[in-house]
Structure 1
Amino acid sequence: MAFHKNLTRVERARLAVTKLICPITRDALRVIPLTDFIFGIYISSRYRYVYIDNPKTGCTSLKSAMAELELRGRKSDLDPLNLEVIHYDSSPLKSFVPIFPKPTLSNLIKNNYRFVTFVRNPYQRLLSCYLNKFDNSTAKDNPQARRMPRGAAPGSFSEFIDAIIGQTDHDMDPHWRSQSINIHYSRVPYAYIGRFENYATDYVTTFHKLGIPADEIPTLRHLNKTGAGRASLHEFYDKKSQDAVYARYQDDFVNFGYPYELPD
């Protein structure tokens, strides 16, 4: 069941109970919207794990593989390469919303569900976001543009950085929100946090941590490439934008061990 922006009385009551019994949900909703919170959670009842989505870290490829694994051996018309199946309610990992009376995140932890996610160097992640959502976007109705401070797409990368660093985490889109906030870093006991920089290796390790035998791990398909990994960050960042990003996203640099210096 999907929760709507304008909650019904029953949904409000269920949410209130969830906040009482699940500290993770209660704390998360203090800093991010309910729709973002729910959208970012993918649950496998079959393999007993939770993937917390962190956009621009290879999540499309990983969620496609997870959907393929979840559907394997079952009669289904769902295509794990279909973006609706990968990202939205059609996903087999979206069978329920972790809001009372369904199991909450705290309840899933108590029941030994394993949590996994991926992170990325903040400098590269923001560049990937800009190139994918604004520089390369041809969509007339860009949902990410609506989350910009003025509700309009930025004209350049420097304009993008200048605009987002003043936003609160609540107002940010998940594609450029602090990764520490996106993945509830201080609240969730992760079994594994993969790194985009070591994607091929960490992709396999993620499934190993979930108890998936090596011969059952889906083949890695690199989906939704932006080219940011091949771009020189020095072409986009100057000292001002580098300092601004380091200051705004300092928790991510510290929590995940990324240095101040721009990657080569």
Structure 2
Amino acid sequence: MIPSFSLPHHYKLNYQKNSNILAEEYKVIYFNTQKNANSTMKAQFVEVLGLSKTKDFPKDVHYSYNFPAAMQSELLSTYRKYLKFIILRNPWERLVSCYKSKIESSSKTGEDYILDSSPDLYIGMPFEEFVEVVCSIPDSKADFHFCSQIYLALYDDGTFPMNYLCNMENLAFHIKEIKEKTGIPFTSLPQLNKSANFRYETFYTPDLVEKVAVRYQADVEFFQYKFGVENKDFPFGKVSESWKDEMLNHPMMITLIKEKNQELLQQVKLKKLAQTKEIKKMEKDIVKLQNNQRELHAIKASFVWKAAYPLRKVISFFLRKNTH
């Protein structure tokens, strides 16, 4: 049950494919969301799981550690009672963080995979232009770093497996509560991979504020985020089943689920087409190999016939002699 959008080519590890990290001993599952303290939490799980640190720790937490993961198809069965948490963030702030860490500085070499989302994205582009491009890219085609958070959290079968929601603004409080509930030994939370200190509000004009509100309408509506205001309205923490049911049955979510399913069907069709092409190629290769084998047998037979010529002459001589 992989998310319906295509995984980036650099996403090869099991936890990346399943979009979560499993701490089996503590019955905790973390759903990683880019630009939401993701590096910080992965560093925490390196410690919690007792993984051997590389010399580049914690800079290499995304690709050097094959964290254990829960199979997505088992999240609501095998892992039904586990604490499953995700960290959410104000979408206006998250987009600025994405811009500053991935786009603004031309020195960010190695991060250009985010540019795969659109030919209109480029390193060093102005923020206003970046917002315009991001707003034109649907979630199904967007890079994880600026894909809407609700889209990342929602699975193809229309389920929302998380049962605990953390607000980035009060992350220390939520992590403390998770520790108390499960006993997982998270330590203090130094912010890793952080952009330079900034006030995200200064990046926006009223027009850009509105465009981002429309682009991330689901995040704004379901998690009650507002521009420039601390989120005190949404009841973060343990997710109530009534809220989850109401959200999943909302017309906006029903439309979103249909879009994800359509994207998934399209990917299945493309995969089948690729498999068909591969099968046809294999069939051609087999025929070619068979032809080559026949040619090889013919060549070998020719060599044997030529090599036996002296023997044939001797046999012919004795046959003629015996006849006379």
* TM norm structure 2: 0.60
1:135–1:108 distance in 2 versus 1, CA, 3 Å? farther
CA RMSD of aligned residues (A): 2.7
1:242–1:183 distance in 2 versus 1, CA, 3 Å? same
Give me the whole-angstrom Cα distance separating, in 2, the residues matched to 1:242 and 1:87.
31
1:231 maps to 2:202 = no
Contact 2:175–2:186, Cα closer than 8 Å, also in 1: no
3-state SS, counterpart of residue 118 of structure 1: strand
1:254–1:88 distance in 2 versus 1, CA, 3 Å? same
From 156, 178, 183, the equivalent of 1:212 is 183
Q: CA deviation at 1:187?
A: 2.0
Q: CA deviation at 1:166?
A: 1.1
Q: Deviations along 1:194-237, whole A, 9 cap, x unmatched? A: 1111122223223334x016xx3323222111135x3251x211
3-state SS, counterpart of residue 46 of structure 1: helix
Q: CA deviation at 1:177?
A: 0.3
Q: CA deviation at 1:96?
A: 5.0
Identity %: 22
Contact 1:180–1:252, Cα closer than 8 Å, also in 2: yes
From 1, 24, 30, the equivalent of 1:51 is 30
Question: Mapping of 1:41-120 within 5 angstroms?
Answer: 41-71=20-50, 77-79=52-54, 81-84=57-60, 86-88=61-63, 90-91=65-66, 94-95=67-68, 98=71, 104-110=74-80, 112-120=81-89
Give me the whole-angstrom Cα distance separating, in 1, the residues matched to 2:31 and 2:79.
13
Q: Deviations along 1:87-131, whole A, 9 cap, x unmatched? A: 23524xx235727xxx63344434x22210100101000001101
Contact 2:18–2:70, Cα closer than 8 Å, also in 1: no
3-state SS, counterpart of residue 43 of structure 1: strand
Contact 1:158–1:241, Cα closer than 8 Å, also in 2: yes
3-state SS, counterpart of residue 244 of structure 1: helix
1:33–1:151 distance in 2 versus 1, CA, 3 Å? same
Which residue of the partner structure matches residue 234 of structure 2? none
Contact 2:22–2:28, Cα closer than 8 Å, also in 1: yes
Contact 2:85–2:164, Cα closer than 8 Å, also in 1: yes
Q: CA deviation at 1:62?
A: 1.5
* TM norm structure 1: 0.73
Which residue of the partner structure matches residue 199 of structure 1? 171
Contact 1:154–1:160, Cα closer than 8 Å, also in 2: no
Give me the whole-angstrom Cα distance separating, in 1, the residues matched to 2:200 and 2:75.
39
More helix, by proportion: 2
Contact 1:161–1:241, Cα closer than 8 Å, also in 2: yes
3-state SS, counterpart of residue 194 of structure 1: strand
3-state SS, counterpart of residue 51 of structure 1: strand
1:105–1:158 distance in 2 versus 1, CA, 3 Å? same
1:169 maps to 2:139 = yes
Give me the whole-angstrom Cα distance separating, in 1, the residues matched to 2:108 and 2:102.
9
Give me the whole-angstrom Cα distance separating, in 1, the residues matched to 2:149 and 2:44.
22
Contact 1:149–1:167, Cα closer than 8 Å, also in 2: no
Q: CA deviation at 1:70?
A: 1.2
3-state SS, counterpart of residue 109 of structure 1: coil
One-letter code aligned to 2:223: F
1:166–1:83 distance in 2 versus 1, CA, 3 Å? same
Q: CA deviation at 1:46?
A: 2.6
